[in-house]
């Protein structure tokens, strides 16, 4: 028997797993293809499982009876009995999984030829044992031969074997699982043990593992894991299970995970015995999970689970209140981390590892942390050697590690060795710690987790600080600090900065240390005491005398102002920030001091940048427009607000949030024709917006290089300075007096506060703060007090002197050149007013000499306004004005007062120039004043026959009401013969605005009057409002000339009704008889003027008459005009008869009759006579005696005139005889205003009027 199986075993063991089988599973689990592998053991009864033994691993799934019996006798004799016995044993143990294999061989058959082929052994066996299961018996023919038959039988056998094996396995596994579940359900019963259950379920896991079903195996472990975790949690919640007690035992060993063996039998046995600690159990569980995961090619899950496990174990131990030696867990975690990492490294190549840093870095960091805390615990992180207490602790910890595992004894880098070494000495610890830290940092950097890297860097820095190695710490601290500042995490900033301060103090980087101290002193995150401490550090340094050695060349230290104080606002007073030279300009600076205590600042100075600007330099008006350079925050009231960062102490906020855009409109015009070429928007604060973010933080970081070179404050520059001020914590107000010595624009550049040796410097002030100083020339203006200055009466004018940069000294005077036309009136109550913030009045003394009036001014400081009033009188020049040019005292040609008619009011104005010598100038100032003449005068001569009257009309054209008195008319060259008889009222009369007054005089003369009379009208006038009527009356004079006053001719017209009729009737012709009578012999002068011809000793003058009826009352029939020759003799009369027809009935006025001088000889006639009237001339029938037309025309011709009155010889376009009107008064028309009654003709028409 044995030899039969042995001969077959090799091929059987080889061939069984060769083909896969489909494994159908219960509970709806997916079927899988598996390869079966079996372990064949010789049958022994004691191997059969007893009841309750569920060891699945050693379970006999299939019992096979091998026989090569081919002899019936032999079968009957022994084999059958043997089989029966076997069967009964199996049945006894409830095993139904069996198989009988009959091995046939040709060789044997040949030997037993007598065997009846009818009933073979196989049939017999089947008959005997396999009642219904005929498949339980198989034949394997010639298994050792290489024949096709043999092959087939092998194949059939193997299939059968696999099927049966799997069937049995499935059945038993199912039973096992059921049992396991039942066991699990009993977990609430007392006496249930997790360890026992663990073993059961792990069995299942093993089986799965054996079947290469790692997934399923893992599930078993995960279930166990979860179950255990749940128990721990329940324990934490107060629901403790008894069995958990064993896990609560104090941890005695902390040797870490062991992942190098597939199964850690040591631990497993501990669990089996119920002696495992929590760490043992966890370690074992994880090692199994790890193994399976690595089988499953999921190494990164291992790292992730490892981290979870480690965290979890720490938590669980805490939850279960298990006593652990201090540091033991750290050891365990450290070892475990490294073990996991080693394990992973063992199964992955380098490239894979590097690509998956993110999975391992957590473990690295964790290990680093743990090593660090171990180091601190064991006194390895210090400058001095560990104490004996530390050493004891170290020894205790190392004892807990136990012996090194045999697997790693030979490896140089085992976690065990590392830990041992690291804890052995300070140097070794440093080496290992740095190695780990750098490895972790590198990995973090590689995967871009910069913050995590920096955090490790920071803890490295802490380590270095502990080791007394600040040089190396500095870099890490600086790096971290920068990032915290940049991202605005104030608490971290404060914390790191504190460490930084410590570091810098050790490094004796005084400047940096002070800067950091300043920042910390102003840090709101710190306590008052801490802030005071740092503040004191600065103050202590500040009060120290400078280092005596020449090593430090600079005795002062410049720090950034930002840490010390924040600018809040600046306010100018006066708010315009534009002042004149030397004026007081104050600048109030509001500063928030960030220091916790009051600071004594010896000097707070702002350097000024001075630039001479053309606009501001000269002649700037007082109300200069504001400069635009004060930024958007600059408000109208001279306040410049500084943008504030967020309330967070970290200045990083400001850096992160970009400042708001400051946009301005920009226009680009071409220089030639100023047309717009381009327009756009300009961002003014681009330098702030576009600067790099990391560099923006540099303003606040203490190590950010040296402050600008401008820190060395140039003392020669202009400065705003405030000395010895105390800045209280919080808002302070500091008053500066700005220098205004020179005109130009001043810009604040740098602010610097000095506290002892320390200077706080702000290198830029933004927004730009500037002010302007201008210089102004003195100015004199004269303006009337009223709207219009009136000539003739005293008027007040206001003198205004803007002193500008000139200071009016005592004795300075204005010199006004006197003119006759405008004297300056002295009045006693003259006073000058100095306008400034306070009104000041002082008396004004006026002295007059012949040529000049001198006004001495009161002393006035520069940039003040001096005002006074003066009364002046502009004489009204007699009309018409005569040109007169005078020379002024200073030799200038004096412009005569120009007068011309005022367009609007009809007033005549006079431009009066005043020449003034001012004390501040060598040149005279010419100022024009315009006066208006209030009156307009007209004259006219009125006649009544030979009597003559002169009328003067005086019109008040001003807006003022006047009194008029004493109108007098005089002859300028008085002739005795003439007398002017006033017909006017004696008393004064009012002349209201825009009204007129008429005055009348009668002329009486004895001798003939001269041709030309020079008359002068004069009157006195005063404004109605004038108080003192007597002195207020001022003269008005109007001169005029009268020509040809006496009456030469009188005209008389008579309308005669048609003969036989009493009255004129309409439509009927009436006679018009005009008689022209010579009134007087012309005087000699007149005679010369008058054209006369002498014919036959008789002097005659020619007159032309004309009948004009403008009102269409009359129709002139026949000729309406004609020329008559009048003898030059008194009372010579000429009569002219004409026919006129009245067109209307009623009292009709007489038609007008005009008489002209007829001057036939002139080439260019003054007045073109009507052609109409000329044509009628030939029908003129002259009634006069000796004058015939012929002679007349001949005389015309004889004078060379080509004009002929006669129709035949008339030549057009040639000079005509000239007509000249008589002066008013020379012709007197008697019939002026006469009317004649005209009756209507007998009316033939019937007007029907119906009255109803």
Partner 1 sequence: MAVCIAVIAKENYPLYIRSVPIQNELKFHYTVHTSLDVVEEKISAVGKAMADQRELYLGLLYPTEDYKVYGCVTNSKVKFVIVADSSNTSLRDNEIRSMFRKLHNSFTDVMCNPFYNPGDTIQSKAFDSMVSAMMVQAS
Stretch near partner 1 under the rule CB under 8 A, chosen from 22-30, 490-498, 964-972, 1195-1203: 490-498
**Least spacing, CB of residue 393 vs partner 1, in Å:** 21
**Least spacing, CB of residue 314 vs partner 1, in Å:** 5
β-strand partners of 666: 680
**Preceding omega of 142 cis (within 30 degrees of 0):** no
Neighbours of 890 (CB within 10 A): 14
Stretch near partner 1 under the rule CB under 8 A, chosen from 186-194, 461-469, 642-650, 1172-1180: 642-650
Q: Using CA atoms, how far apart are residues 729 and 598, in angstroms rounded to an integer? A: 6
In the complex with partner 1, the residue whose CB is nearer, 450 or 624, is 450
356 binds partner 1 (CB under 8 A): no
Where helices occur in 378-489 by DSSP H, the ranges are 388-399, 415-422, 426-446, 450-466, 470-487
**Least spacing, CB of residue 457 vs partner 1, in Å:** 12
**Least spacing, CB of residue 516 vs partner 1, in Å:** 18
**Least spacing, CB of residue 317 vs partner 1, in Å:** 11
159 binds partner 1 (CB under 8 A): no
**Least spacing, CB of residue 454 vs partner 1, in Å:** 9
**Preceding omega of 574 cis (within 30 degrees of 0):** yes
Among 256, 362, 386, 638, binds partner 1 (CB under 8 A): 362
For the segment 652-681, give every residue that binds partner 1 (CB under 8 A).
652-653, 656-657
**DSSP class of residue 54?**
-
Q: Using CA atoms, how far apart are residues 892 and 885, in angstroms rounded to an integer? A: 11
**Least spacing, CB of residue 840 vs partner 1, in Å:** 54
Among 26, 155, 242, 315, binds partner 1 (CB under 8 A): 315
Stretch near partner 1 under the rule CB under 8 A, chosen from 63-71, 485-493, 1113-1121, 1216-1224: 485-493
Torsion sign over Cα 681, 682, 688, 689: positive
Among 55, 77, 491, 682, binds partner 1 (CB under 8 A): 491
**Least spacing, CB of residue 502 vs partner 1, in Å:** 16
Neighbours of 635 (CB within 10 A): 13
Q: Using CA atoms, how far apart are residues 289 and 309, in angstroms rounded to an integer? A: 11
647 binds partner 1 (CB under 8 A): yes
646 binds partner 1 (CB under 8 A): yes
Stretch near partner 1 under the rule CB under 8 A, chosen from 98-106, 442-450, 605-613, 774-782: 442-450
Among 69, 137, 259, 455, binds partner 1 (CB under 8 A): 455
Q: Which of 541, 542, 540, 528 is nearest to 596 (CA)?
A: 528
> C-alpha angle with apex 1079: 1077 to 1081, nearest 5 degrees?
120
Q: Which of 510, 656, 509, 532 is nearest to 594 (CA)?
A: 532
890 binds partner 1 (CB under 8 A): no
Q: Which of 167, 215, 171, 206 is nearest to 21 (CA)?
A: 167
91 binds partner 1 (CB under 8 A): no
**Least spacing, CB of residue 648 vs partner 1, in Å:** 7
In the complex with partner 1, the residue whose CB is nearer, 237 or 1164, is 237
Stretch near partner 1 under the rule CB under 8 A, chosen from 57-65, 288-296, 646-654, 730-738: 646-654
Q: Classify the phi-psi angles of 1060: left when phi > 0, otherwise alpha if psi is within -120 to 50, otherwise beta.
A: left
449 binds partner 1 (CB under 8 A): yes
Among 241, 244, 249, 314, binds partner 1 (CB under 8 A): 314
**DSSP class of residue 271?**
H
**Least spacing, CB of residue 190 vs partner 1, in Å:** 25
Stretch near partner 1 under the rule CB under 8 A, chosen from 111-119, 449-457, 841-849, 902-910: 449-457
Place of tokens 């961002």: 683
Binding mask 1174-1193 for partner 1 (x = CB under 8 A): --------------------
199: its two tokens: 């073993």
Among 452, 607, 879, 1201, binds partner 1 (CB under 8 A): 452
**Least spacing, CB of residue 487 vs partner 1, in Å:** 5
**Least spacing, CB of residue 513 vs partner 1, in Å:** 22
In the complex with partner 1, the residue whose CB is nearer, 92 or 660, is 660
Q: Using CA atoms, how far apart are residues 1240 and 516, in angstroms rounded to an integer? A: 128
CA atoms within 13 A on the CB side of 416: 19
**Least spacing, CB of residue 165 vs partner 1, in Å:** 44
In the complex with partner 1, the residue whose CB is nearer, 344 or 651, is 651
In the complex with partner 1, the residue whose CB is nearer, 365 or 943, is 365
Among 112, 273, 451, 669, binds partner 1 (CB under 8 A): 451
Contact 991, 999 (CB under 8 A): no
Stretch near partner 1 under the rule CB under 8 A, chosen from 450-458, 1053-1061, 1095-1103, 1205-1213: 450-458
Number of residues that bind partner 1 (CB under 8 A): 35
In the complex with partner 1, the residue whose CB is nearer, 369 or 917, is 369
Q: Using CA atoms, how far apart are residues 777 and 804, in angstroms rounded to an integer? A: 5
Q: Using CA atoms, how far apart are residues 729 and 744, in angstroms rounded to an integer? A: 36
236 binds partner 1 (CB under 8 A): yes
Among 386, 488, 897, 1217, binds partner 1 (CB under 8 A): 488
Among 196, 487, 613, 662, binds partner 1 (CB under 8 A): 487
In the complex with partner 1, the residue whose CB is nearer, 488 or 1142, is 488
Stretch near partner 1 under the rule CB under 8 A, chosen from 85-93, 405-413, 465-473, 489-497: 489-497
445 binds partner 1 (CB under 8 A): no
Q: Which of 1124, 1146, 1148, 1126 is nearest to 1137 (CA)?
A: 1124
1108 binds partner 1 (CB under 8 A): no
**Least spacing, CB of residue 428 vs partner 1, in Å:** 25
Burial class (CB in 10 A: 0-12, 13-18, 19+), 1152: middle
- Taking every pair of Cα atoms in the chain, the longest distance, rounded to a whole number of angstroms, is 220
Q: Which of 706, 708, 698, 761 is nearest to 481 (CA)?
A: 698
Query: For residue 1085, which phi and psi values (nearest 5 degrees)?
Result: -65, -40
Contact 1107, 1115 (CB under 8 A): no
β-strand partners of 957: none
β-strand partners of 797: 784, 870
In the complex with partner 1, the residue whose CB is nearer, 7 or 356, is 356
Residue 540 vs residues 544, 601, 938, 1106: alpha-carbon distances, Å:
6, 14, 100, 124
Where helices occur in 37-79 by DSSP H, the ranges are 72-74
489 binds partner 1 (CB under 8 A): yes
Place of tokens 């015309």: 1196
Place of tokens 């012929």: 1190
Q: Using CA atoms, how far apart are residues 931 and 388, in angstroms rounded to an integer? A: 117
Among 358, 536, 603, 890, binds partner 1 (CB under 8 A): 358
Size (the chain), residues: 1252
In the complex with partner 1, the residue whose CB is nearer, 447 or 978, is 447
β-strand partners of 1237: 1147
Q: Which of 941, 1013, 939 is nearest to 1227 (CA)?
A: 941
Which residues in this chain contact partner 1 in the complex, by CB under 8 A?
233, 236, 307-308, 310-311, 314-315, 318-319, 358, 362, 366, 444, 447-452, 455, 484, 487-489, 491-492, 495, 646-648, 652-653, 656-657
């Amino acid at each position: 028997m044995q030899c039969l199986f042995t001969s077959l075993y090799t091929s059987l063991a080889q061939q069984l797993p060769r083909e896969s089988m489909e494994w159908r599973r219960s509970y709806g689990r997916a079927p899988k293809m598996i390869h079966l592998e079996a372990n064949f053991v010789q049958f022994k009864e004691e191997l059969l499982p007893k009841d309750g033994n569920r060891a699945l691993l050693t379970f006999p799934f299939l019992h096979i009876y091998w026989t090569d019996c081919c002899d019936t006798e032999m079968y009957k004799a022994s084999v059958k009995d043997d089989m029966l016995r076997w069967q009964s044993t199996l049945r006894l143990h409830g095993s139904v999984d069996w198989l009988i294999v009959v091995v046939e061989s040709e060789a044997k058959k040949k030997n037993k030829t007598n065997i009846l082929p009818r009933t073979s052994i196989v049939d017999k066996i089947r008959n005997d044992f396999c009642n219904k299961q005929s498949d339980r018996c198989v034949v394997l023919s010639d298994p050792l031969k290489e024949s096709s038959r043999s092959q087939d039988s092998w194949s059939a056998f193997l299939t059968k074997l696999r099927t049966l094996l799997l069937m049995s396995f499935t059945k038993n596994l199912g039973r096992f699982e059921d049992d396991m579940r039942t066991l699990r359900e009993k977990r609430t019963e007392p006496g249930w043990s997790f360890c026992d259950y663990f073993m059961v379920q792990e069995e299942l896991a093993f089986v799965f593992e054996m079947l290469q079903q790692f997934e399923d195996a893992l599930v078993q472990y995960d279930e166990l894991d979860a179950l255990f975790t749940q128990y721990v949690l329940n324990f934490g919640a107060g629901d403790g299970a008894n069995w958990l007690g064993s896990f609560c035992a104090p941890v005695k060993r902390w040797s870490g995970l062991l992942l190098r063996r597939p199964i850690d039998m040591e631990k497993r046995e501990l669990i089996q015995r119920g002696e495992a600690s929590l760490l043992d159990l966890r370690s074992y569980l994880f090692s199994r999970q790890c193994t399976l995961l690595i089988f499953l090619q999921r190494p990164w899950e291992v790292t992730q689970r490892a981290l979870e496990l480690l965290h979890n174990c720490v938590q669980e131990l805490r939850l279960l209140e298990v006593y652990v030696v201090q540091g033991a867990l750290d050891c365990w975690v450290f070892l475990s981390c490294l073990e996991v990492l080693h394990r992973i490294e063992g199964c992955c190549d380098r490239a894979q590892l590097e690509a998956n840093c993110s999975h391992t870095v957590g473990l690295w960091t964790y290990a680093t942390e743990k090593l660090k805390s171990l180091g601190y615990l064991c006194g390895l992180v210090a400058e001095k050697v560990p104490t004996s207490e530390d050493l004891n602790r170290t020894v205790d910890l190392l004892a807990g590690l136990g012996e090194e595992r045999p697997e790693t004894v030979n490896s140089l880098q085992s976690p065990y060795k590392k830990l041992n070494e690291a804890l052995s000495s300070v140097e070794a610890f440093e080496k290992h710690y740095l190695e780990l830290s750098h490895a972790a940092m590198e990995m973090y950097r590689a995967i871009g987790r910069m913050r995590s890297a920096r955090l490790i860097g920071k803890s490295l820095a802490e380590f270095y600080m502990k080791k007394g190695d600040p040089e190396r710490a500095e870099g890490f601290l600086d790096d971290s600090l920068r990032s915290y500042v940049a991202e605005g995490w104030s608490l971290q900033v404060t914390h790191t900065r504190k460490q930084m301060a410590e570091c810098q103090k050790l490094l004796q980087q005084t400047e940096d240390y002070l800067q950091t101290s300043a920042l910390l002193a102003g840090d709101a995150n710190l306590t008052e005491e801490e802030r005071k401490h740092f503040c004191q550090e600065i103050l202590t340094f500040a009060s120290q005398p400078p280092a005596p050695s020449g090593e430090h060349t600079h005795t002062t230290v410049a720090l950034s102002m930002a840490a010390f104080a924040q600018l809040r606002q600046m306010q100018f007073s006066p708010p315009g920030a534009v002042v004149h030279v030397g004026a007081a300009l104050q600048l109030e600076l509001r500063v928030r001091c960030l220091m916790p205590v009051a600071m004594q600042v010896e000097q707070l100075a702002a350097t000024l940048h001075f630039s001479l600007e053309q606009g501001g330099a000269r002649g700037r008006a007082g109300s200069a427009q504001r400069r635009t350079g004060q930024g958007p925050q600059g408000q109208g009231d001279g306040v410049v607000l500084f943008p504030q960062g967020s309330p967070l102490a970290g200045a990083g906020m400001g850096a992160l949030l970009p400042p708001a855009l400051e946009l301005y409109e920009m226009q680009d015009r071409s220089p030639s024709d100023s047309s717009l070429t381009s327009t756009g928007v300009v961002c003014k604060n681009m330098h702030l917006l576009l600067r790099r973010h990391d560099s923006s933080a540099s303003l606040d970081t203490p190590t950010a290089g040296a402050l600008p070179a401008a820190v060395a404050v140039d003392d020669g520059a202009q400065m705003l300075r405030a000395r010895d001020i105390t800045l209280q914590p919080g808002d302070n107000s500091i008053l500066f007096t700005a220098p205004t010595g020179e005109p130009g624009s001043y810009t604040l550049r740098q602010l610097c506060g000095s506290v002892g040796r320390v200077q706080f410097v702000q290198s830029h002030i933004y927004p730009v703060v500037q002010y302007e100083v201008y210089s102004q020339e003195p100015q004199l203006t004269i303006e009337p007090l009223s709207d219009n200055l009136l000539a003739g009466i005293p008027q007040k004018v206001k003198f205004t002197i803007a002193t500008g940069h000139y200071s009016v000294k005592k004795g300075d005077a204005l010199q006004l050149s006197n003119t006759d036309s405008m004297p300056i009136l002295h009045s006693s109550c003259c006073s000058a007013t100095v306008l400034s913030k306070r009104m000041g009045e002082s008396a004004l003394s006026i002295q007059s000499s012949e040529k000049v009036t001198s006004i001495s001014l009161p002393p006035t400081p520069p940039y003040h306004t001096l005002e006074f009033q003066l009364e002046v009188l502009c004489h009204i020049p007699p009309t018409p004005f005569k040109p007169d040019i005078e020379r002024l005292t200073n030799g200038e040609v004096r412009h005569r007062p120009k007068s011309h008619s005022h367009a609007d009011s009809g007033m005549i104005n006079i431009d009066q120039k005043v020449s003034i010598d001012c004390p501040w100038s060598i040149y005279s100032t010419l100022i024009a004043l315009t006066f208006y003449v209030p009156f307009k005068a007209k004259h006219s001569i009125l006649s009544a026959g030979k009597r003559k009257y002169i009328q003067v009309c005086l019109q008040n054209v001003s807006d003022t009401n006047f009194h008029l008195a004493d109108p007098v008319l005089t002859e300028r060259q008085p002739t005795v013969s003439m007398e002017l008889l006033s017909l006017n009222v004696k008393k004064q009369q009012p002349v209201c605005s825009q009204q007129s007054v008429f005055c009348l005089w009668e002329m009486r003369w004895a001798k003939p009057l001269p041709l030309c009379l020079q008359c002068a009208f004069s009157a006195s006038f005063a404004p109605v409002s004038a108080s003192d009527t007597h002195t207020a009356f001022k003269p008005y004079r109007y001169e005029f000339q009268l020509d040809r006053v006496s009456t030469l001719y009188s005209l008389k017209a008579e309308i005669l009704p048609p003969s036989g009729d009493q009255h004129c009737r309409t439509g009927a012709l009436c006679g018009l008889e005009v008689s022209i009578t010579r009134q007087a012999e012309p005087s000699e002068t007149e005679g010369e003027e008058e054209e006369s011809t002498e014919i036959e000793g008789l002097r005659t003058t020619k007159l032309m008459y004309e009948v004009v009826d403008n009102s269409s009352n009359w129709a002139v029939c026949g000729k309406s005009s004609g020329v008559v020759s009048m003898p030059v003799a008194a009372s010579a009369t000429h009569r002219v008869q004409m026919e006129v027809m009245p067109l209307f009935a009623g009292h009709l006025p007489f038609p007008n009759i005009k008489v002209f001088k007829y001057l036939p000889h002139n080439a260019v006639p003054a007045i073109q006579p009507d052609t109409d009237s000329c044509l009628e001339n030939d029908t003129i029938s002259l009634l006069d005696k000796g004058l015939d037309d012929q002679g007349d025309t001949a005389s015309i011709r004889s004078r060379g005139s080509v004009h002929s009155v006669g129709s035949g010889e008339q030549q057009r376009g040639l000079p005509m005889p000239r007509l000249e009107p008589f002066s008013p008064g020379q012709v007197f028309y008697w019939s002026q205003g006469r009317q004649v009654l005209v009756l209507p003709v007998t009316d033939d028409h019937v007007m029907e009027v119906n009255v109803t």
